[in-house]
Structure 1
Amino acid sequence: MSSAQTVLFVNTRPSPAEAEPTYAAARALGLDVVLLADHPVPVQHGHVTEHIAVDTFDLPALVEAARDAARRHDVAGVVCWGDRDVEGVAAVADALGLPGNTPEAAARARDKSRTRDALRRHCPDLTPAFARVSGEEDLEQALAEVPLPAVLKPVGASASKGIYSVRTADEARAAHRELRRYTDPANDPIFRRNAGRLLLEERIEGTEHSVEGIVRDGRLEAAAVTDKFVREPFFIEYLQTHPSALPAEIQERVLDAARRTVTALGLGTTAIHLELKVTPEGRPVVLELNSRTGGGYITTHLLRLARGYPFLEQVLTAVCGLGPTLPMPDAHLVAGSQQVISTADGKLTGLRGVDAALNVPGVLHFAQDAPRGTVIAQPPASFTSSVLGSVIARGPSRTGVTEALAEAAALVTAEVE
């Protein structure tokens, strides 16, 4: 058995530029990493003590793999970096007696309809009107209950997959047919436990934001608000800026909404990425809660660049029970990430303009999210493959950062075969 304490990683972030900081955070805390993953993951030598191949959608198999790791390592905690593994991590934490969510709380967080149920019971002001949808009869009943325009989406997807804006009943019926096909587990194993299960919810007008937070024993101990921007009609996220430009009073309402949502779901010890809208009247409305760290380079890059806050280290400190959570400091700079999105279909053979983008003042990084050889398709054929990469910038003003991001992103174009 290794003399160092070990944290179990259940899979990784999909982008190497987001995955590497998670390993670096573990190393900064003196933690060994054992990676439980269901597919080969390229990892730089030295980041991982052991790699165990296991079908992480198979919860009994995942728990047994974690038990096996615990026989050889001093396992202090378990963590995931994507929605698909939230329930798996809770099952492992429960089996090994580690900090985490209960399996019941993880299921409430993972299933958007169960999240809505919990909010309707405990804080109805935070949820829009909604209805579950499976078959055609469910859809017609939902259309009688939920005002249009509305949003139709899977209860268990991630990364904005399968989100449709519907303005009319006919648009809802067409989206329903597409989503019934799309949520077949043969298309994506993330739908193994909720194939064909959808949610129709009232569309909320307003600005979009997220709360990145650390929850310990049911209490939101550190959190901050990020501004987010999406492209319709499929709500593909393309820009994140931190800290939020919302007035301080509204940000406090947003953070209070996050605290109440954590309590309503009964979360234990976990990172959260809570997505919500703020109406023109200043009312927060929860879109969904993800019981893991946020993507879009928010938690791996933006929080540290804007605030100097080691968010990933603090998440690992919480899930491994290593000490108290550091408070969230004020931001001293603005940081942002903007996604470069291809409008062409085909096989990606390369990117042009990256060097020019990196020469834009304020731009620090370009992270390629789609590797060469990716087959690009536009939504609804694919909701993720058109995102080629992300430009990351920092500066003293929001205007300067957003202008730098826009200029740099416009310089990067895809070479498509």
Structure 2
Amino acid sequence: MSKVLLVHAKGGPPLGYVLNRAAARAEVHLLALSALPSSVAESAGSLCASVVTPGEAERADLVSLIVSRARAVGAEAVLTCSEYAVVAVAEACEQLGLAGPGAAAALARDKRMMRRTWRQHGLPQPEFRPVATEADLLEAAAALSFPMLLKAAWSAGSTAHQIIREPHEVAAAWQRSRQVMAESAQLGFAELHVAEANAHFVVEEIVTGTASAWFEEPGWGDYVSVEGVVADGVFHPVCLSGRMPTVEPFTERAGITPALLPEEAQARVVDLARRAVDALGLDNCGTHTEIKLGADGRMWLIETAARFGGAMTVPQIEEVFGLDLVGMLVDQLLGRPVDWPAEALTPEHARGAAGSLVVLAVDGSGAAWPDRRNWDFPVVRENVPLAAGSRLSVVAESSLPDGTPVPVYDPAAGANTMAALCLLSATDAATVLRDFAVLIAALPAVLPPAGSVPAGPTVPAEGPAALSAARPEGVPA
């Protein structure tokens, strides 16, 4: 049986899901750069031929570690679904002579290089400047138009995003973003291979999106993502995921499969995603390309990743379209024939719909809950009325234990202040959208007040570093 080395780090699709799909195609050897979620630790032993958790000293040269482990187990493919390990795995595959994202993987990771590449190809995106110091940010603020968004070049999950509306906000935004990146690194939500990555930032003008010009149903966010894969250098779009509006500054709240775009609009979005991915020159990997939708048919590229979408994007695609993307990518990396979709699948190809919701302590308008609440999924399941035929579940490895106080939402920390990840299956995407709106409105009313139920690890009210005792696995988009 073919052997695959799976490199696990935080973020990406749930590890349990990935392990099950990969183990169905090959003998899996797991290299765990992050602690295994408790819900997965036991099953990993039965699904994997080996599980290795390296010490800090071994991780100092991550590429050499991956290469050494791959050779030790005789791996014929090396795979990761984590944003934070993509570059290291790509470089290891290059050294091993195995199929992988390729030498250009960093272009789909470092937002500075990504935007420079797209600018060279004349692709639509916000005006931007790379920044490495507060002085750089001040200079960029003088050249760009307000408002603007400061973001970490190597972050994920909207971590360290800061909206700057006036010149006097520059210094505070710079300090806060650097602080959040340092705190996130302590939690394991940071680039694992590139030295000084936490010091790299980009600032860009905020473009004005509009969902109403693209969607007939109200409630959609003003951006979509194109899920796809690059196989032997050729981009294959799979489908579009829709979104609910983000929570300020730009924290993602929910992803829905499929996106209910008209066929002509979907074709235009896919064409832009294809040009964006082609410009990066990737070889063999999943892709996740986010695109902002504006008035009069305008679009702007947000970012592309050389891996599949995070949270439950991949499981949703399997449920709705019947495609096991993890298994198919394993086959691709092993040199087996794979029947990738000839074109992006549309709502007409879907069998129902599915969506994933990040539970944050804010209401539908983004305002903070009036008081602290404990996360308690059984209470939610029993007390929130959903549409007939809708099924709600919780992703255990990406959620806090029942009875744990829901963290106070921190705009700068983004998904670092999530409490849980819920999965909803319904008859169609419009129903998912409406059910999520109902769920978001009901949560602060139906969840027990903090302290009323025996709690798990106490989560202090402020800052991502305070969440280390009870932080679930990350969900970069």
Q: TM-score by structure 1 length?
A: 0.88
Matched, 1:340 2:359: yes
Counting only pairs closer than 5 Å after superposition, residues 193-212 of structure 1 correspond to structure 2 as 193-206=196-209, 207-212=222-227
Q: Say if 1:53 and 1:98 are closer, same or farther in 2 by CA, change over 3 A.
A: same
**What letter matches 2:281 in structure 1?**
G
User: Whole-Å Cα distance in 1 between the matches of residues 50 and 436 of structure 2?
Assistant: 38
Cα distance change, pair 286–146 in 1 and its aligned pair in 2 (3 A): same
Shift of 1:231: 3.1
Distance (Å, rounded) in 2 between the aligned partners of 1:160 and 1:57? 30
Aligned residue runs from structure 1 range 108-187, under 5 A: 108-122=107-121, 124-184=122-182, 187=186
Worse-superposed segment, 252-261 or 191-200: 191-200
Q: What does 1:220-259 align with in structure 2 at a 5 Å threshold?
A: 220-259=235-274
- Give 1:101 deviation, angstroms: 2.2
Q: Which runs of 5+ in 1 are unaligned?
A: none
Cα distance in 1 for partners of 2:405, 2:33 equals 20
Which deviates further from its counterpart, 246-255 or 190-199? 190-199
Is residue 10 from structure 1 mapped to residue 11 from structure 2 by the alignment? no
Displacement of 1:211: 1.1
Q: Does 1:313 align with 2:327?
A: yes
Q: What SS does the corresponding residue of 2:436 show, helix, strand or coil?
A: helix
- Indicate the larger mover: 406-415 or 252-261: 406-415
Equivalent residues in 2 for 1:44-63, closer than 5 Å: 44=43, 45-54=45-54, 61-63=61-63
**1:217-257: CA deviations, max 9, x gaps?**
22112421111234332212111111112221221121111
CA contact 1:35–1:50 (8 Å) conserved in 2: yes
Local SS of the residue matching 1:22: helix
1:37 and 2:32 are equivalent in the alignment: yes
Name the counterpart of 1:401.
Answer: 432
- Find the residue that maps to 1:175 and give its secondary structure: helix
The answer as to whether partners of 1:5 and 1:73 remain within 8 angstroms in 2 is: no
SS state at 2:260 partner: coil
Residue 365 of structure 1, aligned match among 380, 393, 397: 393
Aligned residues, how many? 409
Q: CA deviation at 1:260?
A: 1.1
Q: Report the counterpart of residue 92 of structure 1 in structure 2.
A: 92
Name the residue aligned to 1:326: 340
Instruction: List alignment gaps of at least 5 residues for structure 2.
Output: 210-221, 363-368, 452-477
Name the aligned partner's letter for residue 193 of structure 1: E
In structure 1, the partner of 2:280 is: 265
Percent identity, aligned pairs only? 26
What is the CA deviation profile of residues 305-333 of structure 1, one whole-angstrom value per residue up to 9, with x for unaligned ones? Answer: 22122222222222232222331552232
Higher share of residues assigned strand: 1
SS of structure 1 residue aligned to 2:123: helix
Amino acid at match of 2:131: V
Q: d(CA) in 2 for partners of 1:106 and 1:347?
A: 41
AA matched with 1:156: W
What SS does the aligned partner of 1:274 have?
A: strand
- CA 1:14–1:371 in structure 2 vs 1: closer, same or farther (change >3 Å)? farther
Name the TM-score, length of structure 2 as normaliser: 0.78
Indicate if the aligned counterparts of 1:354 and 1:366 stay in contact, CA closer than 8 A.
Answer: no
SS at match of 2:252: strand
Q: Distance in 2 between matches of 1:14 and 1:120?
A: 28
Q: Is the 1:164–1:233 contact (alpha carbons within 8 Å) kept by the matching residues of 2? A: no
SS at match of 2:340: coil
CA contact (8 A) 1:150 1:167 kept: yes
Indicate the residue corresponding to 2:382 in structure 1. Answer: 356
8 Å CA contact retained: 1:318, 1:325: no
2:22 to 15, 23, 26: 26
Provide closer, same or farther for how the CA distance between residues 297 and 255 of structure 1 changes in structure 2, counting only shifts above 3 A: same
Distance in 2, Cα, partners of 1:279 & 1:390:
29
- Greater Cα offset, 404-413 or 391-400: 404-413
Contact map agreement 2:10 2:84 (CA 8 A) in 1 = no
Q: CA deviation at 1:357?
A: 5.9
Rounded to whole Å, the distance in 1 between the matches of 2:267 and 2:330 is 26
Q: Which segment is superposed worse, 252-261 or 5-14?
A: 5-14
For the Cα contact (< 8 Å) 2:159–2:414, is it kept in 1? yes
Counterpart AA for 2:27:
D
| C-alpha deviation, 1:215, in angstroms | 0.5
Question: In the superposition, relative to structure 1, how do residues 13 and 120 fare at CA in structure 2: closer, same or farther (>3 Å)?
Answer: same
CA distance in 2, matches of 1:334, 1:163: 30
User: How far apart, in 2, do the equivalents of 1:387 and 1:66 lie?
Assistant: 31
Residues 79, 273 of structure 1: alpha-carbon distance in 2 compared, 3 angstrom cutoff: same
Q: Which has the higher contact order (CA 8 A, sep 6+)?
A: 2
**Does structure 2 conserve the Cα–Cα contact (< 8 Å) formed by 1:115 and 1:265?**
yes
Question: In the TM superposition, what is the alpha-carbon distance from 1:165 to its structure 2 partner?
Answer: 2.2
| d(CA) in 2 for partners of 1:347, 1:73 | 47
Q: 1:304 aligns with which of 308, 311, 318?
A: 318
* Contact preservation (8 Å) 1:78, 1:320: no
